């Protein structure tokens, strides 16, 4: 396994890109640590597959360098990069047995037979393929075929990294959860460097130690699931992670506080002083989980609960603040709150300030 370095990397599919929007990936520096389990998360079209294909060598970047453990591989073709890639749809040999499919990447490299047998048995056991090892792949269902494809990606222990591009797309929903857990276990046992592309936050958060959030061709945050939840560094992360996403309100500074529709909201000390000069837009962001309804005797910002949706273990209140600002508040199971006047509390430690979409503090 290897540490993967991306230096001043950028890619445009156009011959003569003119400005930022012509780039599928905007210039980035990024390090994938050796042995890390990463999810690469972002909406459709943000550049995930492009980035994966640049690491594997299927796409040559228009700018910058890629290196594995310090060795520059930018100009090496995929077959010389030592990367295993698993795609959305199974890439297997239908007429071969499951065993032969799993053994193929090893046989190809002249690995001794006893080592092949041992490794194939190990991977088949991890993916629950041991019962079908001697069956032809052609007779198996889509789920099993994709498991074989994943097994072929995991079977070599000498690869720099294993890249998964939305590998569970074709998998039955009830098996998805199981396979994600399995992949996490496999990562813990084999200590592979894994990069797992997905646009599904649940998939990313259950699988990865670190999540890389890509938005409009840029890495907007690299962090643990907890960091993404508690301290989104970009408004997109706040909005994309969480269900429902973070609430954002336009505001203006007033000394050490901010003002929203004439109502003052406290920030953590020092945050207001860190606002960069020349910003265009200032917003506060607060997660539905951290907004509170004031109790008797507490102050708070006047608002109106318009409706409450019951989602089983919790309830979500849609709240109107001022004339037109709508917020979502997560209520506990036992909360009796219903439509009507309320006051909202914004705990300063959970009220984040954003200048032009970037976290100030």
- Which parts of this chain interact with ligand ATP (CB under 6 A)? 13, 24, 42, 44-50, 199
**CA-based torsion, 48, 52, 58, 62: positive or negative:** positive
Closest separation in Å from C-beta 4 to ligand ATP = 17
Closest separation in Å from C-beta 236 to ligand ATP = 13
Measured CA to CA, the distance from residue 94 to residue 291 in angstroms comes to: 54
Measured CA to CA, the distance from residue 99 to residue 33 in angstroms comes to: 32
Closest separation in Å from C-beta 90 to ligand ATP = 17
If the CB atoms of residues 199 and 343 are measured against ligand ATP, the closer one turns out to be: 199
If the CB atoms of residues 155 and 213 are measured against ligand ATP, the closer one turns out to be: 213
If the CB atoms of residues 77 and 332 are measured against ligand ATP, the closer one turns out to be: 77
Closest separation in Å from C-beta 343 to ligand ATP = 42
If the CB atoms of residues 176 and 330 are measured against ligand ATP, the closer one turns out to be: 176
Closest separation in Å from C-beta 220 to ligand ATP = 13
If the CB atoms of residues 52 and 103 are measured against ligand ATP, the closer one turns out to be: 52
Distance set, CA 289 to CA 145, 222, 247 (Å): 40, 22, 10
Closest separation in Å from C-beta 21 to ligand ATP = 10
If the CB atoms of residues 47 and 242 are measured against ligand ATP, the closer one turns out to be: 47
């Amino acid at each position: 396994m290897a540490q993967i370095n991306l230096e001043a990397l950028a890619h445009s599919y156009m011959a003569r890109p003119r400005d930022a929007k012509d780039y599928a990936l905007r210039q980035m520096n990024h390090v994938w640590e050796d042995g890390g389990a990463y999810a690469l998360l972002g909406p459709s079209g943000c550049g995930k597959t492009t980035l994966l294909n640049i690491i594997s060598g299927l796409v040559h970047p228009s700018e910058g360098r890629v290196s594995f453990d310090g060795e520059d591989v930018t100009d090496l073709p995929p077959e010389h990069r030592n990367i295993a890639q698993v795609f959305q749809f199974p890439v297997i040999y239908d007429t071969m047995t499951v065993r032969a499919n799993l053994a193929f990447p090893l046989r190809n490299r002249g690995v001794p037979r006893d080592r092949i047998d041992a490794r194939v048995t190990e991977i088949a056991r991890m993916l629950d393929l041991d019962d079908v090892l001697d069956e032809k792949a052609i007779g198996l269902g889509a789920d099993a075929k994709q498991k074989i494809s994943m097994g072929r990606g995991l079977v070599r222990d000498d690869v720099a990294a294993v890249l998964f591009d939305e590998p569970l797309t074709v998998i039955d929903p009830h098996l998805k959860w199981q396979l994600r857990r399995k992949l996490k276990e496999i990562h813990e046992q084999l200590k592979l460097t894994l990069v797992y592309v997905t646009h599904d936050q649940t998939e990313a958060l259950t699988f990865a130690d670190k999540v890389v959030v890509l938005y409009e061709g840029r890495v907007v945050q690299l962090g643990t699931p907890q960091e993404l939840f508690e301290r989104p560094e970009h408004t997109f992360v706040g909005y994309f992670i969480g269900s429902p996403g973070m609430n954002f309100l336009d505001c203006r500074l007033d000394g050490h506080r901010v003002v929203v529709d004439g109502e003052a909201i406290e920030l953590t000390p020092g945050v207001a002083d860190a606002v960069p000069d020349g910003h265009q837009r200032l917003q506060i962001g607060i997660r539905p989980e951290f907004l509170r309804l004031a109790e008797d005797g507490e102050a708070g910002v006047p608002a109106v609960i318009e409706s409450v949706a019951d989602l089983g273990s919790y309830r979500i209140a849609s709240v109107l603040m001022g004339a037109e600002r709508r917020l979502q508040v997560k209520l506990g199971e036992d909360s009796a709150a219903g439509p009507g006047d309320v006051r909202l509390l914004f705990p300063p430690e959970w009220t984040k300030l954003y200048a032009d979409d970037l976290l100030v503090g």
